[in-house]
Structure formats: structure tokens, C-alpha cells
Structure 1
Amino acid sequence: MSQLFTLTITPRFYETDGVGHINNVSIAGWFETARIRAMESLGAEGELMHWVLASIKIDFQGETFYGEEVTATVTAITPGNSSLTVDCQMTQQGRNTAFGRAVMVHLDRDGGGTAPMPQEMRERLSGYGKGAG
């Protein structure tokens, strides 16, 4: 699979500060939406409740403003044994505004800690983002 997942976000006024910049907390929420929708697009709807966020890092590369759509592109999903690393780039009017990397951990269905990622999901992720663009 080489097709990258892309989501268009329309900033809402309440997500801004006093001069029209998008609040950093809103951008973290947008990254979550892109991650979850990308996983859903790969057929992981039934698995979502078995994944927890272990870490998130956001590099703010430029200002994001109210009034112009933002594109969130999941550029890579890298599987580990019991985790996924998800990279996402946000752009507005062709400018990079933020890059996010999240690590999600797969939980055992019986609540006993981490568990290996299901093989079916690993196969769906094989080649994600490779050769795209």
C-alpha cells in the first residue's frame, strides 16, 4: 500500500488565540484525528480501543491561521512488535506548519498489558507510504 492518508481540516474560530493563530492544543487534537482516521481507513475500526497513545512529539514549523484549510497527511506508519509509530505533516497554503510523531501501543484484550500487534493489521500496514508521492 503506497497511498498516503490525507485529511482536510477547516479551522474553527474557537481554536484561535487573539490574533488568529491556531492554538497548539487544537493542533494536537488534529493530529489525533488524522491518526485515528488513517487507522480506520486501513480497516482497524474494531481494534481502535486496543491502542493507547504512549508518546507524542510535535514540531511547530510555522504559524497556522484561522480562515484557511489545513491538510494533515499521514506520511508513515511504522509497525513495531506491539506498537505503531505514526508520522503526520500538516500544511496550510503549501507551507509546512507542524510535524507530529506519535507512538501507539497495542494492549492485550484481557487488560494484561501490551500485546503483539495482530498479524492481519501488520500485513495491512506493509509498505504504507513507500513509493507514494
Structure 2
Amino acid sequence: MRLPNYIQDLTTWRSEFKFSTTVEIRFSETDMFGHMNNVSPFIYFEEARIKFFDQLNLFGHLAEAQSKVPVVGDLQCDYIRQIFFGDQISIYVKAAEVGNSSIDIHYMAINQNNELCLTGRGTVVQINPKTGKSVPFDDHQRKQLNSLRESVNK
């Protein structure tokens, strides 16, 4: 299997994930052959990313109007193994790199047979919604993000 360029060593990369959520592939997310639609992983990544941020209390309540919000700067998905209607996948999320106002997020999907199906990555940038300009992470956010790095390095 050829790995995407953001994965140097698959074993190490996989071991660094600590957060996951489960998704069951719905009929509406498949084509006439029962094969998952190619846009569905981006929806799964979003769901997992929001739960990940909520667990960390990184951005407060995202539904409330705020002076700083996370937006996706880029997002990619690499399809490793086919996924079908009725499959159950675990979507893993980790903060691979933290910048001043952005986070490089990595994703991994494992099916019910413990097989790697999807990998992905994307940049999330914290911005001021009124100005559209990036906003640096505050002390609380840095503490939450640093606690992630420490738990991975243990």
C-alpha cells in the first residue's frame, strides 16, 4: 500500500490517535452498488472533528456566536479500502501539528474488521468571523492542545 506523504511510518502514525467516534454507513450515503459515496468521508471527518474539539472544549459552544471560530482551510482524503452500506467505521482524529492560529488535523478510518479504509488530513484555522483574519490561540486553547501532545508522547 502506498502511503500519503503526510504519513512517514504507518505504525507510529496509527499509535498516536487517542480519540475516535463510530459511524455506521447509511443507505443514503451509498451508490446503487452499496458502495460509499466519495463525498461521505468529508462529512464523517467533520462529525469526528467537531466531537474532538468539543471533548477538548477548544472552541466553546460552536453553535453560539463567538469572536473566534474554527474554519477548514484545506481537507483531503485518501481512499485505502472500499466501504459499503452497513459497514461500521471508527473515525480517529488527532492534532498532528499546532501553529499560532491553525491546527493540522489527521484522520483515520478503521472498519469493523480492523482494516484501514481511509486516511486524511486538513488544516483548521481559528478566525474572527467579522474580519476573516486569523486569531492566535489563547492560553486555555494552548493548554488543551499541549495536553494532547503530552498524552501522545507518553
Normalising by structure 1, report the TM-score.
0.87
Evaluate the alpha carbon distance shift between residue 37 and residue 67 of structure 1 in structure 2; reply closer, same or farther with a 3 A threshold.
same
| Residues in 1 aligned to 2:42 and 2:54: alpha-carbon distance in whole angstroms | 19
User: 1:41 aligned to 2:63?
Assistant: no
- 1:76 touches 1:88 (CA, 8 Å); kept in 2? no
Q: Which moved more, 1:69-78 or 1:57-66?
A: 69-78
Aligned mate of 1:56, from 75, 85, 109: 75
For residues 80-114 of structure 1, give each alpha carbon's deviation from its aligned partner in whole angstroms, at most 9, with x where no partner exists: 11101111100112111111101011113652511
Change in Cα spacing, 1:34 to 1:3, as seen in structure 2 (3 Å) is: same
Correspondence list, 1:58-97, <5 A: 58-92=77-111, 93-97=113-117
Structure 1 CA distance, aligned partners of 2:56 and 2:140? 11
Number of positions where the alignment pairs a residue of Structure 1 with one of Structure 2:
131
Q: Does 1:125 align with 2:136?
A: no
TM-score, structure 2 length as denominator? 0.76
Aligned counterparts of 2:130 and 2:39: Cα–Cα separation in 1:
32
Distance in 2 between the 1:19 and 1:46 partners?
A: 41
Distance 1:47 1:102, change over 3 A: farther
Q: Where in structure 2 are there 5+ consecutive unaligned residues? A: 1-15
- Once the two structures are TM-superposed, the CA of residue 130 in structure 1 deviates from its matched residue by 0.9
